[in-house]
Amino acid sequence: MTTPTPTASEHRSTDDPRITLDEGVGVFEPIPPYPPRTEREAEFYTLGDGEMFINMGPQHPSTHGVLRVVLKLDGEKVVDLDPVLGYLHRGVEKLCENADYHQTISQVDPLEYISSLFCEWAPVTAYEKLLDVEVPRRAEYIRVLSGELNRISSHALFMGWFALDLGGLTPILWSFIERDEIVEMLAALTGQRMLFNYFRIGGVNGDLNHEFLSRLGDWMSRAVGQVEANTKLLNENEIFVRRASGLGVVDQETAIRLCMTGANLRATGIPFDLRRTHPYSIYPELEFDIPTRSEGDSLARYLLRMEEVKQSLRIIDQCLDKMPDGPIMAKLPRLLRPRPGRAWAAVEGPRGVYGAYAISDGTDQPFRLKIHDPSFIHLQAVGALLPGNLLADTMAIMASLDPVMGGVDK
Protein backbone atom coordinates (compact mmCIF):
# COMPACT_ATOMS: atom_id res chain seq x y z
CA MET A 1 0.00 0.00 0.00
CA THR A 2 1.34 3.33 -0.90
CA THR A 3 0.99 6.23 1.42
CA PRO A 4 -0.23 9.33 -0.33
CA THR A 5 2.25 12.15 -0.02
CA PRO A 6 0.68 15.27 1.42
CA THR A 7 0.84 18.35 -0.67
CA ALA A 8 1.25 21.81 0.72
CA SER A 9 -2.25 22.84 -0.30
CA GLU A 10 -3.89 19.84 1.30
CA HIS A 11 -5.62 20.59 4.56
CA ARG A 12 -5.08 17.97 7.26
CA SER A 13 -5.73 17.88 10.94
CA THR A 14 -2.67 18.01 13.14
CA ASP A 15 -3.28 14.59 14.66
CA ASP A 16 -3.11 12.90 11.27
CA PRO A 17 -0.08 10.57 11.52
CA ARG A 18 0.70 10.98 7.84
CA ILE A 19 1.15 14.65 8.08
CA THR A 20 4.56 16.11 7.41
CA LEU A 21 5.30 19.53 8.66
CA ASP A 22 8.16 21.83 7.95
CA GLU A 23 7.82 23.52 11.33
CA GLY A 24 6.71 22.25 14.72
CA VAL A 25 3.01 22.60 15.32
CA GLY A 26 3.57 24.49 18.55
CA VAL A 27 0.29 24.15 20.38
CA PHE A 28 1.77 26.23 23.17
CA GLU A 29 3.79 28.66 21.15
CA PRO A 30 3.95 31.75 23.32
CA ILE A 31 2.95 34.13 20.56
CA PRO A 32 -0.70 33.59 19.61
CA PRO A 33 -1.38 32.74 15.96
CA TYR A 34 -3.97 35.49 15.55
CA PRO A 35 -3.71 39.26 15.44
CA PRO A 36 -3.83 41.01 18.84
CA ARG A 37 -7.35 41.72 20.06
CA THR A 38 -6.58 44.55 22.45
CA GLU A 39 -3.97 47.22 22.92
CA ARG A 40 -2.65 45.45 25.95
CA GLU A 41 -2.25 42.17 24.05
CA ALA A 42 -0.42 43.95 21.24
CA GLU A 43 1.85 45.65 23.74
CA PHE A 44 2.60 42.44 25.59
CA TYR A 45 3.37 40.34 22.51
CA THR A 46 5.83 42.90 21.10
CA LEU A 47 9.35 42.16 22.22
CA GLY A 48 11.64 44.98 23.30
CA ASP A 49 15.40 44.98 23.03
CA GLY A 50 16.93 41.85 24.59
CA GLU A 51 13.59 40.47 25.76
CA MET A 52 12.26 36.96 25.27
CA PHE A 53 9.12 34.94 25.96
CA ILE A 54 8.99 31.89 28.15
CA ASN A 55 5.91 29.76 28.17
CA MET A 56 5.16 28.15 31.53
CA GLY A 57 2.45 25.55 31.80
CA PRO A 58 -0.24 24.38 31.39
CA GLN A 59 1.45 21.20 32.61
CA HIS A 60 4.02 22.83 34.85
CA PRO A 61 4.11 21.03 38.22
CA SER A 62 4.17 24.18 40.32
CA THR A 63 1.28 26.05 38.75
CA HIS A 64 -1.09 24.39 41.25
CA GLY A 65 -3.40 23.26 38.52
CA VAL A 66 -3.79 23.79 34.82
CA LEU A 67 -2.54 27.30 34.36
CA ARG A 68 -0.48 28.69 31.52
CA VAL A 69 1.57 31.82 32.01
CA VAL A 70 3.44 33.57 29.23
CA LEU A 71 6.38 35.39 30.77
CA LYS A 72 8.29 38.19 29.11
CA LEU A 73 11.85 38.10 30.36
CA ASP A 74 14.80 40.40 30.21
CA GLY A 75 17.70 38.16 31.16
CA GLU A 76 16.41 36.54 34.31
CA LYS A 77 14.07 39.38 35.26
CA VAL A 78 10.37 39.15 34.62
CA VAL A 79 9.25 42.21 32.68
CA ASP A 80 5.61 41.31 32.23
CA LEU A 81 3.33 38.32 32.21
CA ASP A 82 0.11 37.18 30.62
CA PRO A 83 -1.78 34.37 32.38
CA VAL A 84 -3.86 32.30 29.95
CA LEU A 85 -6.86 30.79 31.71
CA GLY A 86 -9.65 28.48 30.74
CA TYR A 87 -8.02 25.06 30.66
CA LEU A 88 -10.23 24.01 33.57
CA HIS A 89 -13.34 25.97 32.64
CA ARG A 90 -16.42 23.81 33.16
CA GLY A 91 -19.16 26.40 32.87
CA VAL A 92 -20.40 25.78 36.39
CA GLU A 93 -22.59 28.90 36.41
CA LYS A 94 -24.45 27.74 33.30
CA LEU A 95 -24.83 24.24 34.72
CA CYS A 96 -26.28 25.74 37.91
CA GLU A 97 -28.89 27.63 35.89
CA ASN A 98 -30.03 24.27 34.54
CA ALA A 99 -30.05 22.39 37.83
CA ASP A 100 -32.41 22.72 40.74
CA TYR A 101 -31.38 24.47 43.93
CA HIS A 102 -30.22 21.35 45.75
CA GLN A 103 -28.24 20.07 42.77
CA THR A 104 -26.25 23.28 42.46
CA ILE A 105 -24.50 22.51 45.76
CA SER A 106 -22.74 19.55 44.21
CA GLN A 107 -22.01 21.63 41.10
CA VAL A 108 -20.13 24.34 42.97
CA ASP A 109 -18.29 21.84 45.16
CA PRO A 110 -15.41 21.04 42.80
CA LEU A 111 -14.70 24.73 42.19
CA GLU A 112 -12.55 24.96 45.25
CA TYR A 113 -11.35 21.43 45.73
CA ILE A 114 -9.00 22.26 48.61
CA SER A 115 -11.66 23.83 50.79
CA SER A 116 -14.99 22.77 49.31
CA LEU A 117 -17.07 23.64 52.33
CA PHE A 118 -16.58 27.37 51.83
CA CYS A 119 -17.59 27.17 48.22
CA GLU A 120 -20.82 25.51 49.32
CA TRP A 121 -21.35 27.91 52.17
CA ALA A 122 -21.75 31.06 50.08
CA PRO A 123 -24.46 29.86 47.65
CA VAL A 124 -26.29 27.98 50.40
CA THR A 125 -26.43 31.17 52.48
CA ALA A 126 -27.64 33.12 49.45
CA TYR A 127 -30.45 30.61 48.87
CA GLU A 128 -31.40 30.79 52.53
CA LYS A 129 -31.73 34.54 52.17
CA LEU A 130 -33.93 34.06 49.10
CA LEU A 131 -36.12 31.65 51.04
CA ASP A 132 -36.10 33.64 54.30
CA VAL A 133 -35.30 30.45 56.16
CA GLU A 134 -33.66 30.41 59.56
CA VAL A 135 -30.94 27.80 60.03
CA PRO A 136 -31.10 25.85 63.32
CA ARG A 137 -28.37 26.81 65.75
CA ARG A 138 -26.90 23.33 65.92
CA ALA A 139 -26.52 23.32 62.15
CA GLU A 140 -24.73 26.67 62.29
CA TYR A 141 -22.34 25.33 64.92
CA ILE A 142 -21.64 22.23 62.84
CA ARG A 143 -21.04 24.41 59.81
CA VAL A 144 -18.52 26.55 61.65
CA LEU A 145 -16.86 23.51 63.20
CA SER A 146 -16.42 21.67 59.90
CA GLY A 147 -15.55 24.91 58.11
CA GLU A 148 -12.72 25.71 60.48
CA LEU A 149 -11.39 22.16 60.17
CA ASN A 150 -11.44 22.63 56.43
CA ARG A 151 -9.61 25.92 56.82
CA ILE A 152 -6.85 24.23 58.80
CA SER A 153 -6.47 21.45 56.23
CA SER A 154 -6.29 24.06 53.47
CA HIS A 155 -3.64 26.08 55.29
CA ALA A 156 -1.68 22.91 56.02
CA LEU A 157 -1.57 22.17 52.34
CA PHE A 158 -0.59 25.77 51.63
CA MET A 159 2.37 25.48 53.98
CA GLY A 160 3.61 22.35 52.23
CA TRP A 161 3.10 23.75 48.76
CA PHE A 162 4.71 27.04 49.49
CA ALA A 163 7.81 25.35 50.87
CA LEU A 164 7.84 22.97 47.91
CA ASP A 165 7.82 25.87 45.49
CA LEU A 166 10.73 27.39 47.36
CA GLY A 167 12.62 24.12 47.03
CA GLY A 168 11.97 22.38 50.34
CA LEU A 169 10.52 18.88 50.14
CA THR A 170 10.07 17.97 53.80
CA PRO A 171 7.24 20.33 54.88
CA ILE A 172 4.74 18.94 52.39
CA LEU A 173 5.29 15.46 53.75
CA TRP A 174 4.75 16.75 57.26
CA SER A 175 1.74 18.87 56.44
CA PHE A 176 0.05 15.95 54.71
CA ILE A 177 0.08 14.08 58.02
CA GLU A 178 -2.19 16.73 59.54
CA ARG A 179 -4.19 17.21 56.40
CA ASP A 180 -4.84 13.50 56.07
CA GLU A 181 -6.04 13.31 59.65
CA ILE A 182 -8.49 16.17 59.10
CA VAL A 183 -9.63 14.81 55.77
CA GLU A 184 -10.37 11.44 57.36
CA MET A 185 -12.26 13.23 60.09
CA LEU A 186 -14.37 15.15 57.59
CA ALA A 187 -14.89 11.95 55.64
CA ALA A 188 -16.40 10.42 58.76
CA LEU A 189 -18.69 13.45 59.07
CA THR A 190 -19.64 14.08 55.45
CA GLY A 191 -18.91 10.80 53.69
CA GLN A 192 -16.36 12.30 51.32
CA ARG A 193 -12.68 13.07 51.62
CA MET A 194 -12.51 15.96 49.22
CA LEU A 195 -15.76 17.17 47.63
CA PHE A 196 -17.90 17.07 50.72
CA ASN A 197 -21.32 18.09 49.38
CA TYR A 198 -22.30 18.48 53.01
CA PHE A 199 -24.12 21.78 53.49
CA ARG A 200 -27.80 21.82 52.67
CA ILE A 201 -30.18 24.69 52.17
CA GLY A 202 -31.42 25.17 55.72
CA GLY A 203 -28.84 23.05 57.51
CA VAL A 204 -26.33 20.27 57.02
CA ASN A 205 -26.55 16.75 55.68
CA GLY A 206 -25.72 14.71 58.75
CA ASP A 207 -25.32 15.07 62.48
CA LEU A 208 -22.04 14.70 64.35
CA ASN A 209 -21.21 11.03 64.74
CA HIS A 210 -19.05 8.99 67.06
CA GLU A 211 -16.20 8.38 64.64
CA PHE A 212 -15.87 12.05 63.81
CA LEU A 213 -15.95 13.17 67.41
CA SER A 214 -13.48 10.57 68.65
CA ARG A 215 -11.05 11.35 65.83
CA LEU A 216 -11.46 15.06 66.46
CA GLY A 217 -10.94 14.64 70.20
CA ASP A 218 -7.80 12.59 69.59
CA TRP A 219 -6.41 15.11 67.18
CA MET A 220 -7.30 18.20 69.19
CA SER A 221 -5.35 16.89 72.17
CA ARG A 222 -2.14 17.04 70.16
CA ALA A 223 -3.04 19.60 67.46
CA VAL A 224 -1.40 22.62 69.04
CA GLY A 225 1.86 20.75 69.51
CA GLN A 226 1.73 19.41 65.97
CA VAL A 227 1.11 22.84 64.49
CA GLU A 228 4.03 24.24 66.50
CA ALA A 229 6.28 21.41 65.33
CA ASN A 230 5.27 21.88 61.71
CA THR A 231 5.69 25.62 61.66
CA LYS A 232 9.04 25.33 63.43
CA LEU A 233 10.27 23.48 60.36
CA LEU A 234 9.95 26.67 58.35
CA ASN A 235 9.66 29.64 60.70
CA GLU A 236 13.17 29.14 61.99
CA ASN A 237 14.68 28.04 58.72
CA GLU A 238 17.03 30.80 57.68
CA ILE A 239 17.03 29.87 53.99
CA PHE A 240 13.24 29.94 53.89
CA VAL A 241 12.84 33.16 55.85
CA ARG A 242 15.46 35.09 53.90
CA ARG A 243 14.08 33.80 50.62
CA ALA A 244 10.47 34.65 51.36
CA SER A 245 10.84 37.99 53.11
CA GLY A 246 10.64 41.04 50.90
CA LEU A 247 9.28 38.93 48.05
CA GLY A 248 6.18 40.14 46.19
CA VAL A 249 5.49 43.12 48.43
CA VAL A 250 2.10 44.76 48.09
CA ASP A 251 1.01 47.89 49.94
CA GLN A 252 -2.43 48.63 51.38
CA GLU A 253 -3.70 50.90 48.66
CA THR A 254 -2.64 48.55 45.86
CA ALA A 255 -4.14 45.57 47.64
CA ILE A 256 -7.52 47.31 47.88
CA ARG A 257 -7.35 48.48 44.28
CA LEU A 258 -6.60 44.92 43.22
CA CYS A 259 -9.69 43.78 45.17
CA MET A 260 -7.58 41.39 47.23
CA THR A 261 -9.14 39.76 50.29
CA GLY A 262 -8.28 37.21 52.93
CA ALA A 263 -4.81 36.67 54.34
CA ASN A 264 -3.27 38.41 51.33
CA LEU A 265 -5.04 41.63 52.28
CA ARG A 266 -4.51 41.22 56.02
CA ALA A 267 -0.77 40.78 55.41
CA THR A 268 -0.72 44.47 54.43
CA GLY A 269 -2.21 45.49 57.78
CA ILE A 270 -5.92 45.84 56.98
CA PRO A 271 -7.96 43.78 59.46
CA PHE A 272 -10.62 42.85 56.90
CA ASP A 273 -12.10 39.51 57.84
CA LEU A 274 -15.79 39.01 57.12
CA ARG A 275 -16.15 36.88 60.24
CA ARG A 276 -15.68 40.10 62.22
CA THR A 277 -16.25 42.97 59.77
CA HIS A 278 -19.53 41.60 58.41
CA PRO A 279 -20.49 38.88 60.87
CA TYR A 280 -22.50 35.91 59.65
CA SER A 281 -23.54 32.55 61.10
CA ILE A 282 -22.55 32.25 64.79
CA TYR A 283 -19.18 33.98 64.59
CA PRO A 284 -20.30 36.92 66.77
CA GLU A 285 -20.70 34.46 69.67
CA LEU A 286 -17.16 33.12 69.38
CA GLU A 287 -13.91 34.53 70.66
CA PHE A 288 -11.01 34.75 68.27
CA ASP A 289 -8.56 37.33 66.95
CA ILE A 290 -7.95 38.60 63.46
CA PRO A 291 -4.17 38.52 63.12
CA THR A 292 -2.63 41.09 60.78
CA ARG A 293 0.90 41.95 59.70
CA SER A 294 2.25 45.07 58.09
CA GLU A 295 5.00 43.81 55.77
CA GLY A 296 2.78 42.65 52.90
CA ASP A 297 5.39 40.21 51.56
CA SER A 298 5.31 36.48 50.97
CA LEU A 299 6.65 35.68 54.42
CA ALA A 300 3.93 37.79 56.06
CA ARG A 301 1.25 35.98 54.08
CA TYR A 302 2.70 32.62 55.15
CA LEU A 303 3.03 33.58 58.82
CA LEU A 304 -0.51 34.97 58.87
CA ARG A 305 -1.99 31.73 57.60
CA MET A 306 -0.12 29.80 60.27
CA GLU A 307 -1.47 32.24 62.85
CA GLU A 308 -4.98 31.68 61.50
CA VAL A 309 -4.60 27.97 62.08
CA LYS A 310 -4.16 28.65 65.79
CA GLN A 311 -7.25 30.88 65.81
CA SER A 312 -9.22 28.16 64.04
CA LEU A 313 -8.19 25.71 66.76
CA ARG A 314 -9.58 28.15 69.32
CA ILE A 315 -12.86 28.35 67.40
CA ILE A 316 -13.14 24.57 67.17
CA ASP A 317 -12.59 24.32 70.92
CA GLN A 318 -15.41 26.78 71.59
CA CYS A 319 -17.74 25.12 69.08
CA LEU A 320 -17.33 21.75 70.80
CA ASP A 321 -17.86 23.47 74.12
CA LYS A 322 -21.02 25.33 73.16
CA MET A 323 -22.54 22.84 70.70
CA PRO A 324 -26.32 23.09 71.30
CA ASP A 325 -28.82 20.27 70.89
CA GLY A 326 -31.61 20.41 68.39
CA PRO A 327 -32.40 19.77 64.77
CA ILE A 328 -29.76 20.07 62.04
CA MET A 329 -32.17 20.99 59.24
CA ALA A 330 -34.83 23.64 58.92
CA LYS A 331 -38.24 22.45 57.80
CA LEU A 332 -38.38 23.02 54.07
CA PRO A 333 -40.25 21.44 51.18
CA ARG A 334 -38.33 19.08 48.90
CA LEU A 335 -38.82 21.25 45.86
CA LEU A 336 -37.73 24.79 46.51
CA ARG A 337 -39.34 27.64 44.63
CA PRO A 338 -38.11 30.87 46.22
CA ARG A 339 -40.06 34.02 45.49
CA PRO A 340 -38.51 36.09 42.70
CA GLY A 341 -35.69 38.14 44.15
CA ARG A 342 -31.97 38.59 44.50
CA ALA A 343 -29.55 37.71 47.24
CA TRP A 344 -25.83 38.09 47.79
CA ALA A 345 -23.93 36.21 50.46
CA ALA A 346 -20.25 36.14 51.24
CA VAL A 347 -18.17 34.07 53.62
CA GLU A 348 -14.56 34.28 54.70
CA GLY A 349 -12.69 31.27 53.38
CA PRO A 350 -9.06 30.29 53.75
CA ARG A 351 -8.19 32.15 50.52
CA GLY A 352 -10.39 35.17 50.96
CA VAL A 353 -13.99 36.12 50.38
CA TYR A 354 -16.21 33.60 48.64
CA GLY A 355 -19.37 35.19 47.37
CA ALA A 356 -22.52 34.08 45.64
CA TYR A 357 -25.12 36.20 43.90
CA ALA A 358 -28.32 34.30 43.25
CA ILE A 359 -31.35 35.46 41.29
CA SER A 360 -34.62 33.59 41.58
CA ASP A 361 -37.40 33.80 38.99
CA GLY A 362 -39.85 31.74 41.01
CA THR A 363 -39.01 28.39 39.43
CA ASP A 364 -37.11 25.49 41.02
CA GLN A 365 -33.88 26.46 39.23
CA PRO A 366 -31.79 29.55 39.95
CA PHE A 367 -32.15 32.12 37.20
CA ARG A 368 -28.54 33.15 37.65
CA LEU A 369 -25.86 32.11 40.10
CA LYS A 370 -22.68 34.11 40.10
CA ILE A 371 -19.81 32.64 42.09
CA HIS A 372 -17.13 35.02 43.28
CA ASP A 373 -13.88 33.20 43.91
CA PRO A 374 -10.88 34.82 45.61
CA SER A 375 -8.37 32.69 43.68
CA PHE A 376 -9.44 34.43 40.48
CA ILE A 377 -8.73 37.84 41.98
CA HIS A 378 -5.42 36.81 43.52
CA LEU A 379 -4.14 35.24 40.34
CA GLN A 380 -4.82 38.54 38.65
CA ALA A 381 -2.77 40.28 41.35
CA VAL A 382 0.25 38.20 40.32
CA GLY A 383 0.43 40.40 37.24
CA ALA A 384 0.98 43.43 39.49
CA LEU A 385 3.34 41.77 41.98
CA LEU A 386 5.65 39.88 39.68
CA PRO A 387 7.29 42.37 37.27
CA GLY A 388 10.82 43.20 38.43
CA ASN A 389 11.33 39.89 40.20
CA LEU A 390 13.49 36.99 39.11
CA LEU A 391 12.10 34.07 37.15
CA ALA A 392 12.86 31.73 40.06
CA ASP A 393 10.61 33.83 42.30
CA THR A 394 7.60 33.56 40.00
CA MET A 395 6.28 30.42 41.57
CA ALA A 396 7.16 31.52 45.09
CA ILE A 397 5.08 34.67 44.74
CA MET A 398 2.24 32.84 43.07
CA ALA A 399 2.24 30.15 45.75
CA SER A 400 2.24 32.74 48.52
CA LEU A 401 -1.02 34.16 47.14
CA ASP A 402 -2.46 30.64 47.26
CA PRO A 403 -4.73 30.48 44.21
CA VAL A 404 -6.52 27.25 43.32
CA MET A 405 -7.11 26.75 39.64
CA GLY A 406 -10.45 25.02 40.10
CA GLY A 407 -11.82 28.27 41.47
CA VAL A 408 -10.03 30.49 38.98
CA ASP A 409 -11.46 28.74 35.95
CA LYS A 410 -14.96 27.99 37.26
Partner 1 sequence: MDRAFKRRLEGRFAERLTGPVRQRHDETEIRIAAADVTDTLRTLHDDPAFGFEFLSDLAGVDTGTYMQVVYHLWSDTTSDWLRVIADGLSREDPRVPSVTFLWKGAEWMEREAYDMFGITFEGNRDLRRIYMPPDYTSFPLRKDFYLADDSARSPGAGVRHMERVHDPRNSTPGNTLRRARA
Residues that bind partner 1 (CB under 8 A): 32, 34, 37-41, 85-86, 89, 91, 93-95, 97-98, 129, 256-261, 272, 277-278, 340-344, 346, 353, 355, 357, 359-362, 367-368, 370, 372, 376-377, 380-381, 384, 409-410
- Phi first, then psi: what are they for 347, rounded to 5°? -130, 155
Strand partners of residue 390: 77
If the CB atoms of residues 118 and 357 are measured against partner 1, the closer one turns out to be 357
Minimum distance of partner 1 from residue 196's CB (angstroms)? 24
If the CB atoms of residues 93 and 184 are measured against partner 1, the closer one turns out to be 93
Task: Please tell me the distance from the alpha carbon of residue 312 to that of residue 115, in angstroms, as a whole number.
Answer: 14
Which positions ≥6 away from 153 have C-beta within 8 Å? 114, 115, 178, 179, 182, 183, 186
If the CB atoms of residues 135 and 346 are measured against partner 1, the closer one turns out to be 346
- What distance, in Å, lies between the first and last C-alpha atoms of the chain? 49
DSSP 3-state of 30: coil
DSSP 3-state of 64: coil
If the CB atoms of residues 39 and 287 are measured against partner 1, the closer one turns out to be 39
Minimum distance of partner 1 from residue 78's CB (angstroms)? 18
- Could you tell me where the DSSP H helices lie in 49-136? 92-97, 101-108, 116-131
Minimum distance of partner 1 from residue 362's CB (angstroms)? 8
If the CB atoms of residues 102 and 129 are measured against partner 1, the closer one turns out to be 129
Task: Please tell me the distance from the alpha carbon of residue 104 to that of residue 127, in angstroms, as a whole number.
Answer: 11
- Measure CA 148 to chain center: 15
Task: Please tell me the distance from the alpha carbon of residue 236 to that of residue 329, in angstroms, as a whole number.
Answer: 46
- Phi first, then psi: what are they for 171, rounded to 5°? -55, -35
Task: Please tell me the distance from the alpha carbon of residue 398 to that of residue 29, in angstroms, as a whole number.
Answer: 22
42, containing H or E segment: helix 39-44
CA 369 vs CA 123, 127, 200, 278: distances in Å: 8, 10, 16, 22
If the CB atoms of residues 102 and 368 are measured against partner 1, the closer one turns out to be 368
If the CB atoms of residues 91 and 217 are measured against partner 1, the closer one turns out to be 91
Minimum distance of partner 1 from residue 405's CB (angstroms)? 12
Minimum distance of partner 1 from residue 132's CB (angstroms)? 8
The one-character DSSP state at 200 is E
Which positions ≥6 away from 337 have C-beta within 8 Å? 362, 363, 364
Minimum distance of partner 1 from residue 169's CB (angstroms)? 33
If the CB atoms of residues 324 and 340 are measured against partner 1, the closer one turns out to be 340
Minimum distance of partner 1 from residue 221's CB (angstroms)? 38
Minimum distance of partner 1 from residue 215's CB (angstroms)? 36
If the CB atoms of residues 111 and 159 are measured against partner 1, the closer one turns out to be 111
Minimum distance of partner 1 from residue 382's CB (angstroms)? 11
Beta strands 77-84; 199-200: pairing state: unpaired
Strand positions, DSSP E, 313-382: 341-348, 353-360, 368-372
